[in-house]
Structure 1
Amino acid sequence: MTAGGPALPALGGRGPSYRERVADALRAALIAGELRPGEVYSAPGLAARFGVSATPVREALLDLAKEGLVDAVPNKGYRVTAVSERQLDEYTHVRALIEIPTTAALAATADPAALAALRPVAEEIVAAAAAGDLIAYVDADRRFHLGLLALAGNAHLVEVVRDLRHRSRLYGLTALAEQGRLRASAEEHLELLDALLARDTETVRAVTTRHLGHVRGLWAAP
């Protein structure tokens, strides 16, 4: 395991969802660049950062291996797979094709109560940005956007976007957080909710387009 690096968040609890929470935290660390491509990480080493036993971490790493996010290295651990710039561009392009029109359509169809229920998650994103907690930022961002897309009523669409998000890399988040610029991006989630609740389709489209543009812009630069 690579020495040093930011600590992962401590996780508590047990049960079927525990492995999923560990896997989600690992994905968030990978997406945010806390776990770097080419580096080998062991289950015991990651478990020490989580403050949990190695078993749920080992199980979560098996899930990530099935998704192609890490590769097993015999007797050592798991190596984070590299993603090319072209692949990242392609993932972002597909996301834009799906998310921009789908989110814009929600301005006319989404239940206001369902939209309002996403505000606490949007506020979590802002709080995580202010604290510089990149793993919490990525996790809350995932829950917000997938929750929003779920309001369109197409479960397959949500799964496609979930997979594309898992494969993305946002290495620029660290620099943005250190510069105090991540909060501005985080607040776009609140701006988007306000536009959706106002039934302002054009603003929703504009904010979603700008927000997704950060994936290969502000959030991408190493």
Structure 2
Amino acid sequence: MRLTRAASRIVVAGNDEFPVNGGALCVKGWTAGTTLDHPDRLLTPLVRGVDGLLVPASWDAALDRVARGIQKIQACHGRDAVGLFGGGSLTNEKAYLLGKFARVALGTPHIDYNGRFCMSSAAAAGLKAFGIDRGLPFPLEDIAGADAILLVGSNLAETMPPVLRYLDRHRRGDGAVIVIDRSNPNRRSQNAWLSTATARPPATLSSVSTSTRPSAAGTRIAPK
């Protein structure tokens, strides 16, 4: 994305030269600049007083309180009683620094990031199905050359809108897009929608695989 300053605001725009999305942005990207001057944005640390209420504090006071709390826990329960969580939005440099802080400054081996919990099942499924634990097993440009694409339980239109341009290109090349899902967020780029309002995706997939399996003669039976 490209960031420019207009008066007192930061304006976010897509980068037309970026190869994946060609300048397209999702809602999170479009509105990223509004968080900088949002009235609910915290501009100072908050610490909880004896009355249980959060009150503004200086950075020195807040960091001193955090340090005292960590020291107290480690003094009572050992250095590895403290753990750290990172996140997918950290840069490589910040992730490296966080690891050093955990192991060198705090002396704890317990450091992880949120992706292990939200992506572990997806990684296991991807490894079993495609031989890789995450990401796409093909370049996005290959979508346009597929005969048919099956989306199961996917709301690409809401979570990955830049990908829709590849589905649109696929459709323009006479490709088929079939969606199996309870909702129908991808209607712009699909040929068929199989609702799972009355049947869960596994049952629907079982029906599809049964009706499309090769016959004894080697021909494919079209779905009813």
Greater relative CO (CA pairs within 8 A, separation 6+):
1
TM-score normalised to structure 2 length: 0.24
TM-score normalised to structure 1 length: 0.24
Between Structure 1 and Structure 2, the one with more strand by share is 2
Query: Which structure's CA Rg is the greater one?
Result: 2
Between Structure 1 and Structure 2, the one with more helix by share is 1
